């Protein structure tokens, strides 16, 4: 599975730099809206998703940001041929966790974690 960090500003690149402190060359791609116009950003994002044969897990900065909105539109409108999904609320712990799962889990299995009732993952059996 490919992992793409997506942000309006420089957060995605800074997150990549933080990951590079722990992994020599993390296999994470970065796309930021601030570097290009919105139309160029959308075309680049669509091409990125369509040209990969792997699943694409997009980690976005903030729910409702322009970068998030454009990505979710591409995913939900069916314009992307590859399987892709998005998680928003980028943080270093989240990126680390997802990076550790990207080669052994599918997007569907990662989505199940976020769709489970919160109590299931927090319950500790006393037996």
Q: What is the pLDDT of residues 82-125, one digit of tens each?
A: 678 899 999 999 999 899 888 888 887 877 776 665 555 444 44
Letter string b/e over residues 88-121, b meaning 16 or more CB atoms within 10 A of that residue's CB: bebeeeebbebbebbeebebeebeeeeeeeeeee
pLDDT reported for residue 103:
84
- At residue 79, the pLDDT reads 73
- pLDDT at residue 8 in the model: 93
Q: Mind listing the pLDDT tens digit for each residue in 27-66?
A: 999 999 987 889 999 999 999 998 888 889 999 999 999 9
Q: Is pLDDT above 90 for 19? A: yes
Q: Which pLDDT belongs to residue 101?
A: 85
What CATH architecture is 2-122? 3-Layer(aba) Sandwich (3.40)
CA–CA gap between residue 60 and residue 118 (Å, rounded): 22
Residue 81 has pLDDT above 90, yes or no: no
Domain assignments of the chain as residue spans, ordered by start: 2-122
Which of 3-7, 15-19, 106-110, 114-118 is predicted with the least confidence, judged by mean pLDDT?
114-118
- In this prediction, residue 118 carries a pLDDT of 53
């Amino acid at each position: 599975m490919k992992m793409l960090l997506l942000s309006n500003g420089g957060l995605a690149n800074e997150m990549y730099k933080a990951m590079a402190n722990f992994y020599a060359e993390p296999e994470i791609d970065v796309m930021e809206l601030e570097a290009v116009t919105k139309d160029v950003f959308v075309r680049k994002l669509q091409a990125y998703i369509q040209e990969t044969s792997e699943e694409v897990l997009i980690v976005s900065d903030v729910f409702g940001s322009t970068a998030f909105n454009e990505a979710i539109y591409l995913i939900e409108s069916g314009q992307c041929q590859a399987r892709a999904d998005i998680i928003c609320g980028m943080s270093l712990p989240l990126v680390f966790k997802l990076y550790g799962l990207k080669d052994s889990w599918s997007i569907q299995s990662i989505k199940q974690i976020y769709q489970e009732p919160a109590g299931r993952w927090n319950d500790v059996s006393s037996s």
